[in-house]
């Protein structure tokens, strides 16, 4: 799909939600939710894990500050808050899972206080679980790194950087190549973070990936979404790292929390790739009017190019993602349509 400067160029839908969903709810309870949604939309909060934690925290804050009223009103209003957050990056499964985790016990609540309590509790639990998962992944992944390894990473993944920093902290004397990651240049965040941690890090432009692959021992990247057949959706350019790694027989590992596994893909749904504003790529003034710009944010790496998926549950093969998903969803698996 192509987009032009003259058309509506972002796939992110406008936030067209009525702020006061009923006459008794003061608008201010939606302020934090709206602020978080807007920060996510504008990439002030970014990274699949961070947006999930921010979304869950906003849901928890909403419940905590909810002023009163009936259980029915709260149920309706929290649905509005949920939509507001999900529309900020509509294709992000981590955000969906983070927000959904907060409301998973709402159906059992008999009073407003019980409902608020369950949202607050589940939001806290999600944030804690998510942060712990990143730490566990770092420890497990670092065991795959050997002394003197040269590592290549892409974009800015807290899960992948956790592995790299842990390996460095263990004194493994590693070197890192980090891609710039156009157009947002999240690679600059990566080199800053690694340099501050004392890691020997070199910034490369995205098109230098194949060139440095011959000097690379291992690739560690993050994930935005993992499908039930073990494919990984991550920052645009990830699949070309995987192809180059495959050609050079370099190990390609994906570091990801299991809540980035997409339950919808079990039912055959395709992962929608977010397409963002063309102005993020190039200034409209710099191009002739008839030139189109295509700005997909993520791409898909097929399972055959992935050697390991490093999760908080251990190292998985792409082929075992389905089993983990089914185990996590348990009896709810066939009710997913209702849950949505
Ligand atoms: P963590 C980012 O997306 C990158 O694609 C990164 O690899 C992924 O999220 C995972 O990040 P964006 O928000 O959850 O920059 O590992 O588009 O931090």
What residue spans define the domains of the chain?
A: 27-134, 136-339
**Which two structure tokens, joined as six digits, stand for 301?**
């790496």
Asked if pLDDT for residue 98 goes beyond 80, the answer is yes
Residue 102 annotated among the catalytic residues of the structure: no
pLDDT score at 92: 85
Q: What is the mean pLDDT of the chain?
A: 89
Name the pTM for this structure: 0.88
Pairing of strands 225-226, 232-235: antiparallel
| Percent of the chain's residues with pLDDT above 90 | 80
Report the separation in Å between the CA atom of 46 and the middle of ligand 1, taken as the mean of its atom positions. 7
pLDDT score at 16: 34
Q: Which residues does ligand 1 sit against, CB inside 6 Å?
A: 46-50, 155, 157-159, 186, 222-224, 234-235, 297
Q: How far apart are CA 132 and CA 239, in angstroms?
A: 28
Report the separation in Å between the CA atom of 241 and the middle of ligand 1, taken as the mean of its atom positions. 15
pLDDT in tens, 193-238: 999 999 999 999 999 999 999 999 999 999 999 999 999 999 999 9
pLDDT in tens, 53-65: 999 999 999 999 9
Q: Given strand 251-255, what is the order of strands in its sheet?
A: 200-204, 175-179, 150-153, 218-221, 251-255, 308-311, 314-316
CATH number of 136-339: 3.40.50.10470
Set 77, 102, 149, 155: catalytic member: 155
Residue 224 annotated among the catalytic residues of the structure: yes
Report the separation in Å between the CA atom of 40 and the middle of ligand 1, taken as the mean of its atom positions. 12
Which residues are CB-contacts of 326 (< 8 A; sequence separation ≥ 6)? Answer: 266, 333
Length of the chain: 340
Give the ligand 1 atom nearest the CA of 46: 13
The domain defined by 27-134 carries CATH number 3.20.20.70 = no
Residue 105: alpha-carbon gap to chain centroid: 24
Q: Which of 179, 224, 312 to mutate to test the pocket of ligand 1 (most atoms within 8 A of CB)?
A: 224
Report the separation in Å between the CA atom of 255 and the middle of ligand 1, taken as the mean of its atom positions. 11
pLDDT in tens, 228-275: 999 999 999 999 999 999 999 999 999 999 999 998 898 888 898 989
């Amino acid at each position: 799909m192509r987009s032009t400067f003259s058309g509506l160029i972002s796939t992110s839908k406008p936030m067209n939600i009525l702020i006061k969903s009923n006459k008794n709810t003061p608008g201010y309870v939606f302020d934090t939710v709206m602020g978080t949604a807007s920060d996510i939309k504008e990439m002030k909060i970014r990274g699949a894990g961070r947006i999930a934690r921010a979304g869950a925290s906003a849901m928890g804050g909403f419940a905590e500050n909810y002023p009163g009223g009936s259980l029915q009103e709260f149920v309706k209003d929290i649905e509005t808050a949920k939509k507001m957050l999900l529309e900020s990056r509509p294709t992000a499964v981590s955000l969906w899972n983070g927000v959904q985790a907060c409301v998973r016990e709402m159906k059992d609540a008999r009073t407003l206080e019980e409902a608020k309590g369950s949202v607050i509790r589940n939001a806290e639990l999600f944030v804690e679980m998510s942060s712990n998962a990143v730490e566990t992944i770092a420890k497990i992944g670092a065991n795959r790194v050997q002394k003197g390894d040269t590592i290549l990473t892409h974009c800015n993944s807290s899960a992948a950087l956790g592995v790299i920093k842990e390996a460095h902290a263990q004194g493994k004397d590693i070197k890192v190549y980090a891609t710039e990651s156009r157009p947002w240049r999240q690679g600059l965040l990566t080199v800053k973070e690694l340099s501050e941690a004392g890691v020997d890090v070199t910034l490369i432009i995205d098109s230098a990936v194949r060139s440095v692959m011959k000097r690379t021992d291992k690739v560690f990247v993050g994930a935005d979404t993992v499908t039930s057949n073990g494919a990984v959706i991550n920052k645009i350019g990830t699949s070309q790292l995987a192809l180059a790694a495959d050609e050079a027989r370099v190990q390609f590992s994906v570091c990801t929390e299991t809540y980035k596994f997409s339950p919808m893909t079990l039912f055959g749904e395709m992962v929608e790739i977010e397409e963002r504003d063309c102005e993020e790529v190039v200034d409209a003034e710099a191009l002739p009017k008839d030139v189109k710009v295509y700005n997909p944010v993520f791409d898909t790496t097929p399972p055959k190019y992935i050697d390991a998926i490093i999760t908080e549950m251990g190292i998985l093969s792409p082929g075992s993602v389905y089993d983990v998903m089914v185990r996590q969803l348990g009896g709810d698996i066939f009710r997913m349509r209702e849950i949505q």
